[in-house]
Structure 1
Amino acid sequence: MIRRLALAPLLCLIAAPAFAHEERCAAVAASVDDAGFSDSVTVTCTDSHATLTSDTYPDHDMMTGISGTNEQIPVPAQYAAPIILAPQFSGTPLTRDAALGVAVNGVPIYDYTGGGEMNVADLAHHQAQHDTLQTGQLDLCGGHAGRGDDYHYHVTPTCMIDQMENAGPDAIIGWAFDGYPIYGDVNPDGTAISADALDVCNGQADATFGYRYHTSSDAPYIVQCLMGVVENFDQLPRVRPLTAAGGGGGTEPGRPPRGGVENLVFTQNDDGSRSMDYTYQGQDYYIRYAPSGSANCYDYTTSTVTNGGTIMEGEFCR
């Protein structure tokens, strides 16, 4: 669903500098290559878009530090993120209940809310009750597994930034779907961002790209809406959720247990199997899964808070 809000202070049009499609494509590709992620992220370009293709599964720690778990786990998912090569600034914010962009390591970037709670009418007001950081839903790297068992970021991707070969204030850490780059907490020249410089989407004018987004230590932490024109906004990619092999339902997202879980540990083994173990009110729970042998399918054994500790088994596929 497309949501729009026209805000009077944003109606001045930011004119993008002349930037040929080929140059913009090269800039997107260079942002991935310079960061050192070209082995896991492929960039291809058409006349209109640069597409970053990945499995959304980063090579850094995941899930550590989560207390408000939704009892979802990260499963690789093929993802093709389209970045507009000739962006047009509109000043009319767009938001949706899915990714708004992609990091240079191929992991999708969401706003800070966890379940599509962001509404254009509330963009200027922090929604603490839906803040994934404040409610303990995020790991120490700024991400978690969402409703489709897909890993993505909701705040600054700190672990990815630590891995970047070109880490620094002038390094692009991602791209929004409207075609504008995303930078860190300071300006590309290293200077601090002045108070109130960022607009409601966490962006500001840029001499090179016309406009740019930033992360921030305070809410909204990262891109929370898009300021560029995006045709077919409601058709932007979503990660395909897992479904039961042979048909039927899929894995169902849980709800963060009241008071939170403790000692959550996510383990990855050399044979491809993975597990997430945690404790709630003195009881141990777990989710274990491993490749089943069929393409993009996994065998699950779970005992979750959501299901009252009942042991459940099944094969689920993308």
Structure 2
Amino acid sequence: MLTRYQHACVMRRVTQTKCRNLACTSKSASFTSHGLPDETHSKMEGIIATNQQFPRVHQYEYKITRTPKKANQPTLTDTGAIGVAVNGVPIFDPFTQGPVNPKTGKRPNTLYQGELDNCGGHAGRGDDYHYHISPICLIEELGEIYIEKMKRPIGYAMDGYPIHALGWFDKANDVEDELDDCRGMMDENGNYFYNVKNEESWEVANCLTGEPQKFSKDKWIHRQDKFGNKYVGIPLKFTVQEYSQTDHKLDICYVMTGILEKEQILLTDGTTKQLKNETGSIFYCNSHCYGIF
């Protein structure tokens, strides 16, 4: 295993990452990112329960501590970012923002709610693309040499400890039986790291072993409807078969094409109509050109 931060200031040259302004001190590594994965990754495709949000450019500023400290006790994760992948895309807790189940004490799982794409991510309420489970497409892109031979991290948790994917390609490197409750362990040099699960349910970290840090800031322009209000989509049983975005000089049009499972819609004449297994698209170009439920 490599030393804890041997690659903290190298970050990424393997993928077409949009991480920029990388700077390092003895205490931290900082960089900026637009928060989107490589264009070859199948963003949004495979989702069967969409909230009608689109992955848009953000302005993230990250600062990862290079001197993580083990906390007195693990910190349970909750909704929101728990780390960042090496391509600059946030990594979230696996759960939705839905209500806590009184029996389990947990919120609904995004994976089992059908909200995640084939890469393990989706666009959130702020049109922010992020992962909720192992970043599948990123790991596949990084490849076996990077993951298993060079043993480089796929990301960093908000407490500063690296996140690896050992055993994803080579079962000889599998450490699943050696992980603690947070999905972490020490390497042979005494350095702590997390390791993602390489099969369903593809967990990243179940809790945080180190002291959580304020590690990111974000700026973005919120979408608006025709009345100038911030637009936030509603949940929809819509299977996304294809996602695309096209640049039209002044606007970028975001389009998701797929199948609407079942929905009742209100027509302009005041009547309603039942739709079932209808093929169609939802899209957004600007506040005067969009087609969303």
| Length-normalised TM-score, structure 2 | 0.76
Taking the aligned partners of 1:39 and 1:304, their CA distance within structure 2 comes to: 29
Please name the residue that 2:259 is paired with.
279
Is 2:45 aligned against 1:57?
A: no
* Cα distance in 2, alignment partners of residues 76 and 104 from structure 1: 17
8 Å contact from structure 1 (residues 180, 209) kept in 2:
no
Distance 1:198 1:301, change over 3 A: farther
**CA shift for structure 1 position 177:** 1.5
Q: Residue 109 of structure 1 corresponds to which residue in structure 2? A: 91
Whether the 8 Å contact between 2:152 and 2:164 is mirrored in structure 1 is yes
In structure 2, distance between residues paired with 1:167 and 1:117: 39
Letter in 1 for 2:10: A
CA distance in 2, matches of 1:180, 1:79: 20
Partners of 2:287 and 2:36 in 1: CA distance: 18
For the residue of structure 2 that corresponds to 1:164, the secondary structure is helix
User: CA-to-partner distance for each residue in 1:276-316, whole Å, 9 max, x for gaps?
Assistant: 233322445543334xxxxxxx55633334xxxxxxxxxxx
Higher strand share: 2
The residue type paired with residue 209 of structure 2 is M
CA contact (8 A) 2:226 2:288 kept: no
Question: What is residue 133 of structure 1 aligned with on the other side?
Answer: 111
Are 2:20 and 2:33, in contact at CA under 8 Å, matched by a contact in 1? yes
Residue 47 of structure 1 and its aligned partner are, at CA, apart by 4.4
Separation of aligned partners in 2, 1:133 and 1:96:
15
User: Shift in Å at residue 132 of structure 1?
Assistant: 1.2
- Paired residues in the alignment total 266
1:159-238 mapped onto 2 (5 Å cutoff): 159-164=137-142, 166-169=145-148, 170-186=151-167, 190-195=172-177, 197-208=178-189, 210-216=191-197, 217-219=199-201, 221-231=203-213, 233=214, 236-237=216-217
Q: Which residue of 2 aligns with 1:86?
A: 67
- Partner residue in 2 for 1:302: 290
CA distance in 2, matches of 1:200, 1:302: 45
**Contact 1:275–1:288 (8 Å) recurs in 2:** yes
Secondary structure at 2:12 match in 1: helix
Encode CA deviations 1:89-148: one digit per residue, 9 max, x unaligned.
1132142421111101110001111227689x99xx695x71111221111111100111
Unaligned 5+ segments in structure 2 are 261-275
In the alignment, does 2:224 pair up with 1:262?
A: no
Q: Which of 52, 74, 80 is equivalent to 1:98?
A: 80
Can you give the 5+ residue segments of structure 1 that lack an aligned partner in the other structure?
Answer: 1-16, 291-297, 306-318
Contact 1:97 1:116 in 2 (8 A): no
The correspondence for 2:121, drawn from 143, 150, 168, is 143
- 2:121–2:129: 8 Å Cα contact kept in structure 1? yes
* Residue in 1 that maps onto 2:233: 253
Partner Cα distance (1:204, 1:97) in 2: 24
**Identical amino acids, percent of aligned pairs:** 30
- Give distance in 2, aligned partners of 1:93 and 1:282: 43
2:52 is aligned, of 71, 75, 92, to 71
- Classify the secondary structure of the residue corresponding to 1:163: helix
Tell me the amino acid that sits aligned with residue 151 of structure 1.
Y
Q: Deviations over 1:220-250 (max 9, x none)?
A: 611233211135x5x8535657154999641
Report the TM-score, using the length of structure 1 for normalisation. Answer: 0.71
One-letter amino acid matched to 1:106: G
Amino acid at match of 1:223: A
For each residue in 1:180-223, what CA deviation from the matched residue of structure 2 results, as whole angstroms up to 9, or x when unmatched?
1101153999522243x323322122344721111112446112
CA distance in 2, matches of 1:239, 1:95: 23
Aligned-CA RMSD value:
3.5
Counterpart position of 1:315: none
Asked whether the 8 Å contact 2:256–2:283 carries over to 1, the reply is yes
Q: For each residue in 1:64-111, what CA deviation from the matched residue of structure 2 results, as whole angstroms up to 9, or x when unmatched?
A: 111011111111111112211100011321424211111011100011
Contact 2:196 2:204 in 1 (8 A): yes
